Structure 1
Amino acid sequence: MSGIQMLPTDRIKYTPITKRPKLSLPGNARLAVWLIVNIEEWSILETMPRTVLTPPAGGQPTPDIPNWAWHEYGNRVGFWRLLKTIDEFAVPAVLAINGKAITSYPEIADAALEREWEFMGHGYSQKNMQKVDDERLDIRRTTRQIEGFTGKRPRGWLGPGLTETWETPDILVEEGYEYVCDWVLDDQPVLLQTRTTPIVNIPYTQECNDVAMMLIQHHQASEYHQRAIDQFDQLYQDSADAARVMALVVHPYIMGAPHRAKYFRKVIEHISQRQDVVFTTGEQILDCFSTSAAPALITTA
């Protein structure tokens, strides 16, 4: 326990979703859906963060050409395939991007900026935050890259692989961040205590995340569609009592693959049919929470 400053239970107290201040969403919607597109850069000089092929002799070879190329396909082709669907349905999106990737994949960053997507910090490179040399510097470099490109400081943060150190929420607040997505434990935004001021955690997803479904659980491509629809329908039903937030997560090298892309489109089409559901961004959810539910939570804390 040496070096630990705050446990998760120190940062957030248990509160059942049935006993919360009212959460108001954009357009008075009952359910907010936010789409997060993850753009990452994998260094060919390091072990690949994820793999699709095991080397014949085992081990962790460098260079790992087949697994690097598998990921690179997503940025060269898969992103643009997904973008067609996003444009077709005029869905706002959030670009969770490694700071370094803005320079390495400028056309992707340009496309997101042109469409006025929200840029969210996602580490400087795709590396476990517990393994970076200097966490504060990594966060600061990511911030500088995004602000330098967009002209606007990012307000939200998603750790690579949802990884954090014991200090991550504290450092994020001190570096100007207002929300984080790593704590996948609720269907509404919640407040996390830090050593200074609280930070908001906005619902992300591990279940409707293509990494979990396709790379860890090894489901067929159609599982993304079925699971997302089932989750959406249940959350929509739940939202009759209180507003809910649903995240959809895609990585271009996964859902942008030719045999999976159509299932992403089916999900967006299904959700778009509901009139009292809004596609929105993390910062819009943050602003609604901050003006509706958060003041009461801070007062009673």
Structure 2
Amino acid sequence: MRPSERLDYEPIDGRPPLSLPRGKRTVVWIIVNVETWSDTDPMPRTVLTPPAGGIPAPDVPNWAWHEYGNRVGFWRLLQALDRQGVRAALAINGQAVEHYPQITSAARERGWEFIGHGFTQKNMQKVQDERADIQATTRAIESATGIRPRGWLGPGLTETWETPDILVEEGYEYVCDWVLDDQPVELRTRTSPLVNIPYTQECNDVAMMLIQHHPAREYFQRAVDQFDQIHKDSADTARVMALVVHPYIMGVPHRLKYFEQAIQHIHAHRDVEFWTGDQILDWYQENRPAPALRREPDGLIAS
């Protein structure tokens, strides 16, 4: 199926309202991305251009830039989240589960949700066997945590034409790649529907810091502006907002405080829940409206 064939256009205005428990109106979830970058392959992203051009091998400065995040930056993010009392979702490469066991243990101890994020940080369209890659990621997470992951985030949000179909067939219940709504939506697959939970491209440190080259304070300003509008929109029906960080970006010394300040601003609102993806999924499955009916030549069929 083409992406446009996997869901119908349904404007958020006019949908049956979604309600959160205990008088809450907005859900915020925080996704920390932990990845494995091969020290023999070209770097997925770079901070320093080689002085002589080309693609060096090994690319020590750019590999080390990323590795700093897992050695140091992650632990700053962890402390900030601990201080704010927030349980995050860890989107992690299957190989990173084994490469960084202390990160795995720290997330487990805090009850973070583990989300499949590819076996390595590689475009899913360039993976030799997509199903095998998804299976290997699932095994790595389940082996380390004792819990089978329910959610999936493609590396760089990449998918093939079959990714949603394969994910459902491999036991996944939700995906984050389809950044097109402020509420969960259902995607058609060749078997059962797959829920997409709102993620973010623009409140994402990759976009802000590495692509758009904003100063560090932009993370705080954009997160606050986005939250204030979504919170206002949620007066009539619940909305979901994501904040995305990578240890090698927001975990560095000159950026961390802006991430924590954004959480503090959101925390000041008593009608906001900080949830993980699986909590959002459970709530949505329990409260989603019944599917509308559309008329076809041979009768009424659920859309």
How far is the alpha carbon of 1:20 from its aligned partner? 1.8
Aligned residue for 2:205?
Answer: 210
Aligned to 2:128: 133
CA RMSD of aligned residues (A): 1.2
Secondary structure of the residue that 1:296 maps to in structure 2? coil
> What is the aligned partner in structure 1 of residue 228 from structure 2?
233
- How far is 1:28 from its partner? 4.2
Map of 1:45-124 to 2, 5 A cutoff?
A: 45-124=40-119
The alpha-carbon deviation at position 24 of structure 1 amounts to: 3.0
Gaps of 5+ in 2: 294-300
Range that drifts further, 16-25 or 98-107: 16-25
Q: CA deviation at 1:29?
A: 1.6
Distance 1:40 1:260 in 2: 19
- CA-CA distance at 1:8 after TM superposition: 1.1
5+ long unaligned stretches in structure 1: 1-5
Give the alignment partner of residue 280 of structure 2, picking from 277, 285, 297. 285
Following superposition, the deviation at residue 23 of structure 1 comes to: 2.1
Aligned mates of 1:101, 1:120 — CA distance in 2: 12
Matched letter for residue 59 of structure 1: G
Q: Does 1:25 align with 2:20?
A: yes
- How many residue pairs align between the two structures? 296
SS of aligned partner of 2:200: coil
Kindly state the Cα deviation for residue 60 of structure 1 after the two structures are TM-superposed: 1.2
Matches within 5 A, 1:136-155: 136-155=131-150
Amino acid at match of 2:115: M
Q: TM-score, normalised by structure 1?
A: 0.96
Which residue is equivalent to 2:190?
A: 195
Q: Secondary structure at the match of 1:95?
A: strand
Residues 69, 249 of structure 2: 8 Å contact kept: yes
- 1:145 is paired with a residue of what secondary structure? helix
Measured in 2, the distance between the counterparts of 1:83 and 1:186 equals: 28
The letter for the 2-side match of 1:264 is F
Q: Which of the numbers 150, 156, 160 marks the counterpart of 1:161?
A: 156
> Which residue of the other structure, out of 219, 223, 226, is the alignment partner of 1:224?
219
Letter in 2 for 1:239: S
| Distance change in 2, residues 1:270/1:61 (3 Å) | same
Q: Distance in 1 between matches of 2:172 and 2:22?
A: 25
Matches within 5 A, 1:31-46: 31-46=26-41
For residue 265 of structure 1, the aligned residue among 260, 265, 286 is 260
Letter in 1 for 2:242: A
The separation in 1 between residues aligned to 2:22 and 2:212, in whole angstroms, is 37
Q: 2:173 aligns with which of 158, 173, 178?
A: 178
Distance 1:83 1:297 in 2: 43
SS at match of 1:100: helix
The aligned counterpart of 1:252 is: 247
1:8 corresponds to which letter in structure 2? P
**1:194 & 1:208 partners in 2: Cα distance?**
28
